Amino acid sequence: LKSQLKNIRKNKKKPEKFISEDDRIFCMYMLELYGNDYNAMCRDSRNIYQLTSTQIRRLISAFRDSKYYAQYLKQKHDNDLHVTEFYE
């Protein structure tokens, strides 16, 4: 019985972390410009909340774990991604 409960807990899906639309756009923008250079991201003038490189890394990690990352990759592959226009 205990092993069955452990298996149930282990296989239980964790709820997806909520990511606001602004954070999604921020993540897409930073990934387009800087790739994985988190130090450059934290020095960008569009980092209005002055997030540190560690905070940005965690935010982008949460974005990559979300369902929106697949949509981002599909738009990028189809050349239908115009995220830089939001910041101009």
Q: Residue 88: pLDDT above 70?
A: no
Judge if pTM exceeds 0.85. Answer: no
Confirm whether 5 is domain-assigned: no
In a domain, 23, yes or no: yes
What's the domain count of the chain? 1
Show the domain range for 81.
19-87
pLDDT band at 87 (very low <50, low <70, confident <90, very high): low
Q: What is the pLDDT of residues 38-66, one digit of tens each?
A: 999 999 999 999 999 999 999 999 999 99
Q: Report residue 85 CA to chain centroid gap.
A: 19
d(CA 58, CA 62): 6
Say what percent of the chain tops pLDDT 70: 94
